[in-house]
Amino acid sequence: VDSQNLCDMGSCKNKKKKILVPIIASLLSFLVVLLLLIIFWRIKRKQNASKESPNEEGRTIESNNKQFTYAEVANMTNNFQTPIGKGGFGTVYLGTLKNGKQVAVKLLSASSSQGYNEFQNEVTLIAELLMRVHHRNLASFVGYSHDNNRMALVYEYMANGNLKSYISDRNIHPLSWEMRLKIAIDAAQGLEYLHHGCRPAIIHRDVKSANILLGENLDAKIADFGLSKGLPDDQTTHILTDVIGTTGYLDPEYRRSHNLNEKSDVYSFGIVLLELITGQPAIIKSMDHIHIMQYVGHYLKKGEVTSVIDEQMGGDFNLESVWKAIEISVACTRAMSTERVTMSEVLTGLKACLEMEMTRGPRDRANHVVEKMVGLQIDHSPDICSMDFELMTEPSGR
């Protein structure tokens, strides 16, 4: 009898185990699912909160990397009523978001020579890289539209347009040397951040005066990332099959080798700096389409430094400051990329130029420029005089 009772007790325990195991398993599964739901909910809440967080200057952007419908783009631009610029991508229109913030809307033209590929590259780069970086000298990206093949990019609005147009309006917008240096420093800070503050480093690939935008107080920001490339973390150069850039700004070494690195941007920045110094465009059409480096080299070879400097400044500048800026532009545009300076070195040099200009005495002004020239030592090295310029046909002009 005792043996029978023991067997009955054993079978009872087995029955209890068979009942408890599925219950416990179900309970654990429920808890795991509940935990996953809580984690998912917390992530979504953080994402939604980040979309409404203010940017560096305290102004709220409606959402990061926002996708607009074409109807929303048409509405924000009042049916594309106010064009404010035009480029290879298409026409740029003034727009206003629901919160009252003004924006610049780049609408892809059906006949655009750049078109879909650059649109995709810009949106992808921004989504993967630029949305993670914020710098006061990089134009803020607000969103994009890709609605039934009608494409648009939406950026913050910069009240004074681009540097190229601003310099071109010579009589309307005379710029002092101090202001030109501040614009150059702003642009240099933006590029330095792309090269040395981002991981991976970002090469802009189309640095030019038309892609430097000016705000209400002439604060400058780098814009237009349609050609930009992010370098792999373990690489400092990148081989490309296609060489793309803007005539007058394209690095000759990159043109020959297809080898892209940060020094290609440095070269292009050197050309922009020469534009600020001379008031001339990269390609001077009024002088039989000569390159700005030929123009500068011609006068420097004869020691005529003041002939290079934009007459709109009226001689009101510290000559050593301008000369140092010319030397920086030469260091940016050397034929071999390995011999060019970095954007960090450019920035240091430009700040020194600004300090010279801001601390000058009364005898550094217009009436004493010629006197200052007498004591100025001009470097007649091949780099300074020839500007290392190489004539060539540049591909894919923009």
Active site residues: 206
| Rounded alpha-carbon distances, angstroms, from residue 80 to 77, 96, 159 | 5, 11, 18
Tokens of 365: 């002004």
23: number of Cβ within 10 Å: 9
Give the count of alpha carbons within 13 A of 248, CB side only. Answer: 21
Q: Are 154 and 104 in contact (CB under 8 A)?
A: yes
Q: Tokens 């920035």 — which residue?
A: 347
Structure tokens at 45: 């809440």
- CA-wise closest residue to 106 among 127, 85, 120, 130: 85
CA distance linking residue 194 with residue 198, whole number of Å: 6
Element (H, E) at 144: strand 141-147
State the residue for tokens 């009589």. Answer: 171
Cβ-based neighbours of 142, under 8 Å, separated by 6 or more: 61, 62, 66, 97, 103, 154, 155, 156
Count of other CB atoms within 10 angstroms of residue 202: 24
106 marked ligand binding residue: yes
Residue type, 17: K
By the 10 Å C-beta count (0-12 exposed, 13-18 middle, 19+ buried), 22 is classed as exposed
Neighbouring C-alpha atoms within 13 Å toward the C-beta of 282: 26
Q: Are 178 and 357 in contact (CB under 8 A)?
A: yes
User: Which structure tokens are listed for 10?
Assistant: 């054993």
**Nearest in space to 276 (alpha carbons), one of 393, 365, 357:** 357
Q: Do residues 292 and 280 lie in contact, with contact meaning Cβ atoms separated by under 8 Å?
A: yes
CB atoms within 10 A of CB 168: 13
Q: Are 109 and 89 in contact (CB under 8 A)?
A: yes
Q: Provide the 10 A C-beta neighbour count for residue 393.
A: 7
Residue positions forming the annotated binding site? 106
Residue positions forming the annotated binding site for ATP? 106
